[in-house]
Chains A and B, each alone.
Chain A
Amino acid sequence: DAKTTQPPSMDCAEGRAANLPCNHSTISGNEYVYWYRQIHSQGPQYIIHGLKNNETNEMASLIITEDRKSSTLILPHATLRDTAVYYCIARRGNQGGKLIFGQGTELSVKP
């Protein structure tokens, strides 16, 4: 699986959009980009994933650059409950089934 790089921490004002970047410059053509988050004292929670196209669901939007070397997770209206560690993971959809976590970005949403 391709290595991903994320900033260790970010702040965001409540009600504003939180834009979390992820670099995956060595991603291969069949690797998806997955985002999970872990709120303190809980297990990680799936947010969204994508291959090439931008994706949106009820939680977030995922913007993947045309060359697929980077992506951005967007929380459109961050709330205090979005304070968590966000993990960007690049992996093949059909090999091994393992999910390997990097260090993630600790997002602090402030009032």
Chain B
Amino acid sequence: SAVISQKPSRDICQRGTSLTIQCQVDSQVTMMFWYRQQPGQSLTLIATANQGSEATYESGFVIDKFPISRPNLTFSTLTVSNMSPEDSSIYLCSVGTGGLWGYGYTFGSGTRLTVV
């Protein structure tokens, strides 16, 4: 399965600032996803990062707040913009690999973000 390197692993940020999270995969993958996990909650899908085109956002998430880049098949970034304490969460990158969709989804170890 793919190996994901996600950076930074954690950060403490001031409200009103932005943070960019990087996701690097050791192999080319078609599908990359970004999730948010608020404290004590399950994972919520933010968007699908599409290579060469704009990301596809889930309901409740917008590009202005969570801009995503996907310059190639091994790399993506998620920016959390104009942060507020409500953005304090773990952000996870995920890729789908293997011949059957859903088999072999791999997740990064996450970025633990605290906004003060």
Whether A42 and B101, one on each chain, are in contact in the complex, defined by CB atoms closer than 8 angstroms, is no
Asked if B21 is an interface residue, CB under 8 A from chain A, the answer is no
Whether A99 and B42, one on each chain, are in contact in the complex, defined by CB atoms closer than 8 angstroms, is no
Asked if A59 is an interface residue, CB under 8 A from chain B, the answer is no
Asked if B13 is an interface residue, CB under 8 A from chain A, the answer is no
> Chain A interface secondary structure, helix, strand, loop or mixed?
loop
Whether B92 and A43, one on each chain, are in contact in the complex, defined by CB atoms closer than 8 angstroms, is yes
The residue of chain A having its C-beta at the shortest distance from the C-beta of B103 within the complex is: A49
Whether A49 and B102, one on each chain, are in contact in the complex, defined by CB atoms closer than 8 angstroms, is yes
Q: How far is the CA of A85 from the CA of B37 in the complex (A)?
A: 13
Stretch at the interface among B70-78, B79-87, B104-112: B104-112
Contacts of A36 on B, CB cut-off 8 Å?
105
Q: What per-residue 1/0 map shows which CB atoms of B47-70 lie under 8 Å from chain A?
A: 010000000000000000000000
Query: Which 5 A/B pairs are nearest by Cβ-Cβ distance?
Result: A43-B107, A101-B43, A97-B31, A101-B42, A44-B107
B positions within 8 Å CB-CB of A = 1, 4, 30-31, 33, 35, 42-45, 48, 92, 94, 96, 100-110
A positions within 8 Å CB-CB of B = 32, 34, 36, 38, 41-46, 49, 85, 87, 91-104
